[in-house]
Amino acid sequence: MTGHAQHLKLPKLELLRRILFITLGAALVSVGLEIFLVPNHIIDGGIVGISIIVSHLTGLPLGIFLFLLNLPFLVLGYKQIGKTFAMSTLYGVSVMSLGTFLLHPVPPLTEEYFLASIFGGVILGIGVGIVIRFGGSLDGTEIIAILFNKRLPFSVGEIVMFFNLFILGSAGFVFGWDRAMYSLVAYYIAYKMIDITMEGFEESKSVWIISDEAKEIGMAIMDRLGRGVTYLHGEGGFSGGQKRIIFCVITRLEEAKMKSIVQELDPSAFLAVGNIHDVKGGRFKKRDIH
């Protein structure tokens, strides 16, 4: 038991790094909310959106509802999401709630709704993305979705989307339909920024190439891109002939160069490129090209 418990503990440096980045992410979300979105009556989805609406209707500080409305779902989902994630989320929500308290007296940087939607969405999305990337969350919506997923014939993503559309639609009755539409803009931008922040601009891509010139293409990829390749053996479904398949992982920025290499050496080659959300192990790091 003791050895297992020690194994689960994060190293002190990694724990410090996690705390630092969750603090940064939660602080950015506070800025996006209090400096851009909330003063212009533009909301986000999830528990944050509900908190903004309830805060407006009651006149009480936003931070109170951000903390209190998330708390029950953290308790409910404790067994589902694990202690480390629960504690990271509790810390992130606490920092976000405190941040909105401190920033509430600060006047908004813009009263132009479209600018507020764009910049609020960008800052909010980056903040949430950082927190998720470092093992936490700032919203109980996903926990609700995980709990309901076992009882309903819908995926977690579908439940979250339905929940958020309901909340964003509610903004129309509280703040007016123009603000509800601006809220949709902010929500979409935040959603895309979360993806970019989590995956990075150098998003990894998997590449599959089927060619009679597989050896030459493989050598060119290793020489010109500095990427390792793996040769697989396959059989053509129609022809029944033996095929050599190249598999490798590159970044998004290397995709154009990869395509030009294949086009140059075998214009008739089959090439498939797909997105990868995470790469670990192996020899993904580039070899130096001299």
- Local confidence pLDDT in tens for the 290 residues of the chain: 344 443 445 688 888 999 999 999 999 999 999 999 999 999 988 899 999 999 999 999 999 999 999 988 887 767 666 677 788 889 999 999 999 999 999 999 999 999 999 999 999 999 998 998 888 888 877 677 766 766 777 766 677 778 888 898 888 899 999 999 999 999 999 988 987 887 665 567 899 999 989 999 999 999 888 888 999 988 777 777 788 899 999 877 788 888 989 999 999 999 999 887 666 665 555 555 54
Identify the pLDDT of residue 77. 64
pTM, two decimals, is 0.71
Identify the pLDDT of residue 33. 96
Contact 124, 33 (CB under 8 A): yes
Contact 190, 125 (CB under 8 A): yes
Identify the pLDDT of residue 198. 74
Identify the pLDDT of residue 277. 66
- Residues in the chain, how many? 290
Contact 194, 125 (CB under 8 A): yes
Q: CA-CA distance, 175 to 40, in Å (whole number)?
A: 10
* Continuous segment of H or E residues that includes residue 250: strand 242-251
Provide the edge-to-edge strand list for the sheet that holds 230-235: 230-235, 242-251, 204-210, 270-276
Identify the pLDDT of residue 91. 93
CATH code: domain 204-276 is 3.30.70.120
Identify the pLDDT of residue 290. 46
Beta bridge partners of 230: 247
Q: CA-CA distance, 99 to 87, in Å (whole number)?
A: 18
* Continuous segment of H or E residues that includes residue 205: strand 204-210
Hey, where are the domains in the chain?
11-199, 204-276
Contact 167, 49 (CB under 8 A): yes
Q: CA-CA distance, 50 to 195, in Å (whole number)?
A: 23
